[in-house]
A and B are shown apart, each in its own frame.
Chain A
Amino acid sequence: MSGNDLIELGIAIIILIGTIFGFLSAVGFIRLPDIYNRAHAISKTSTLSVLFVLIGTFLYFLILERYFSIKLFLGIFFVFLTSPVSAHVILRAAYYSNVELAEENVQDDLKDYVMSAANEQK
């Protein structure tokens, strides 16, 4: 087994680990009780999984083909930057459109804050 084969195997294992993380995040997305928990599972872990896959692809073309792709680099940077932001926007929209929290939930600090801000506006 030559060096290039070992590097190829390592990169394939990085990609496999990334997709397994994505599968675990999808299991969390099905099984957790309310939208906030589900978005917690899917946004963090699927960002991590796609970063593993894209970094594996980047290293594959960098090491084995001697091809530095600035487009793929920008894609990694952009996915890393925008995926948590879009999850934040969706969850804020969900909270302000009165989506209920799970019944197991014991504390809701944002509710008091929103109520006091609404009272100040009146």
Chain B
Amino acid sequence: MIKWILFCSLFFLLLTVTAIMYRLVKGPTAPERVQALDALSTNIIAGVAIFSVLLRNTAFFELILLIGILSFIGTIAFGKFIERGVIIERK
């Protein structure tokens, strides 16, 4: 029972990722693509959590924290690059 509900939520997650990939390919401006990548990593976090419930395994929780931190750093770096033209400024 729970297995089929989790498969159903993985299906919805697949639809979400497909929609975000569409916007990632088509999106007219650069900030939009960065936003799409950020949303993609957020949904991948949800996918990892669903798989760890499905496999009854606690080994993937580091992965959730790690993907969250890496996507945040990447998004901040891209935002600063789009706004200023450099990522690390020199005096």
Tell me whether A and B are bound partners. Answer: yes
Interface size on A, residues (CB 8 A): 56
**A residues within 8 A CB of B35?**
35, 38-39, 42-43, 87, 90
Please give the residue numbers on chain A whose beta carbons come within 8 Å of chain B beta carbons, in ascending order: 5, 8-9, 11-13, 15-16, 18-20, 22-23, 25-27, 29-30, 35, 38-39, 42-43, 46-47, 49-50, 53-54, 56-57, 60-61, 65, 67, 69, 71-72, 74-75, 78-79, 82-83, 85-87, 89-94, 96-97, 99
Tell me if B1 is interfacial: C-beta within 8 Å of chain A.
yes
Q: In chain B, what residue has the closest Cβ to A20? A: B12
Q: Which residues on the A side are within 8 Å of B52 (C-beta)? A: 57
Interface size class of B (residues with CB under 8 A): 35 or more
Complex Cα spacing A71 to B59, Å: 10
With contacts defined as CB atoms under 8 Å apart, how many contacts are there between chain A and chain B in the complex?
A: 175
B contacts with A: majority SS:
helix
**A15-B53, A19-B13 given as contacts; is B31 within 8 A of A97 (CB)?**
yes
